[in-house]
Amino acid sequence: MGVSARALATIAALTSVVVLAAACSSNDDSAKPKWTGNDSSAGGPSASASPAELPKAAFAAPTDGANNVSTATELSLQADPGSNAQVTLTDASGAAVAGGVSADGKSWIPGSQLKYGTQYTATVTSAGDTAGKKVSFTTMAKPGKTVNVSTAVADNKTYGVGLPIVVRFGSSVPSEMRAAVEKRLIVTATPPQVGTWYWFNGGEVHYRPKDYWQSGTKINVRLAVGGLQLTKTGWGSKDVTSTFSIGDKIVMTTDDKTHQMTVEQNGQVIKTMPVSLGKAKTPSSSGNMVVMDKNESELFVGTDPDDPYRETVYWTQRMTSGGEYIHSAPWSVGDQGKRNVSHGCTNVSESNAKYLYNLTKIGDVVIVKNTTRKLAWANGWTDWDKPWDEYVKGSALPPPAAEVIPSTSTSAVPSASASA
């Protein structure tokens, strides 16, 4: 399984993603890795080490007998390099809890939220301690105030290559708590791709890869916030998971100098069409956008008393929160390709609007160039309107590694059902 760029972060201190790497083999002992690991391991010792030299592992937290432990807890490990730490976690009934060691080997992360008010027993064995160390702890009671956490992505859907993963919180997360929260926002992509989170404000954080998602990518999102403290007085109500795919690369580029839109699919131009953009009083925004929403029809109502309108518009694709769309505009066909007459939207003919509507997906890329207005940051899903070196500054964690580094453990699986 691959990890999305920040996957190394959720666990490692970047943002989060864990990758499963295939084990390599060699007849040359000197070429063999010093440790390998498995679903619950943090590395293994050299085969030539003597018993007295074998490294050990233990739990740093929670402590034995701890109470009121968060249901979003991670089991912190003190593991010598090559200890091959193996962790098991069971509830009071003896039922095993799925999970895995983090990419940095410093913690073991349950694959789903723990139960409230429940006693758990964790055991860690290692090369130097096959009998293992045990700790028992009891999770917190269900908190009185919970905070809802949601994402705009839905299960089993196919999205465009520019899709940001948008997460919203019912209450604003204070800046000093965002790093702890961000570590629990786990994005796993197959194939793995570097990515990061960006906090637009305390109530909304987005995730995007360094470059557009690769077509065919499978993405698993786990917002592991159930029982995690999100505000001074509120805890996450539950974990949120979603699994979806990335489809063909569709890019719609409109140039106000030519009044033309060029449509590309997987790098090939498949159509060019005339457009009419915003007139001088209501110019269209130039910038990098994505399709945020689509509807066969919507009622558009003007808010300027000096320029009122009320019109049912068809084959709409929203690009900004402020109300810029691509849509059918049969009334401006004579102007399309020649001059700008809209209120900021991209006007196309009815046939072209329907063609685009049937082609595109939420998350497909929209680029508008050479208008008199620059796209305002946060006016919709503007994630691609900042270069990567600026975008990473919006994270509460250090920047991710430039490349995804394979891990030999399954750690922090987004859900217990995740498959390799």
Q: Given 24, 206, 259, 327, which residue is catalytic?
A: 327
Residue 244 class from Cβ within 10 Å (0-12 exposed, 13-18 middle, 19+ buried)?
buried
Q: Look-up: residue for tokens 């691509």? A: 326
Q: Mention every residue, 6+ apart, whose C-beta is less than 8 A from residue 164.
A: 206, 207, 208, 290, 363, 381, 383
Edge-to-edge strand ranges of the sheet holding 260-265: 268-274, 260-265, 250-255, 365-369, 285-290, 373-374
State how far the alpha carbon of 231 is from the alpha carbons of 40, 109, 172, 203, 221, in Å: 31, 22, 7, 11, 22
Residue tagged active-site, from 24, 206, 259, 345: 345
Residue carrying the six token digits 């965002």: 178
Paired with 290 in beta bridges are: 365
> Which residues in 183-236 belong to E strands, given as ranges?
185-190, 195-201, 204-209, 218-223, 235-236
Query: What's the sign of the alpha-carbon dihedral 393, 2, 266, 359?
Result: negative
Judge contact between 47 and 127, C-beta under 8 A. Answer: no
Name the residue type at position 259: H
18 near 413, Cβ under 8 Å?
yes
Quote the DSSP letter at residue 310.
E
CB burial of residue 208 (10 Å; 0-12, 13-18, 19+): buried
Paired tokens of 55: 């490294």
User: Of the candidates 240, 236, 234, which has an alpha carbon nearest to the alpha carbon of residue 187?
Assistant: 240
Q: Count other Cβ atoms within 10 Å, centred on residue 307.
A: 11
Six token digits for residue 360: 């595109």
Q: What are residue 92's phi and psi, to 5 degrees?
A: -60, -25
Q: Is 343 a catalytic residue?
A: no
- The 346-348 sheet, strands edge to edge: 293-301, 310-318, 325-328, 346-348
Total residue length of the chain: 420
* Maximal C-alpha separation, the chain: 86
Q: Is residue 345 annotated as a catalytic residue, yes or no?
A: yes
Instruction: Provide the 10 A C-beta neighbour count for residue 280.
Output: 7
Nearest one of 382, 407, 378, 408 to 14, comparing CA atoms: 407
Query: Residues with catalytic annotation?
Result: 327, 345
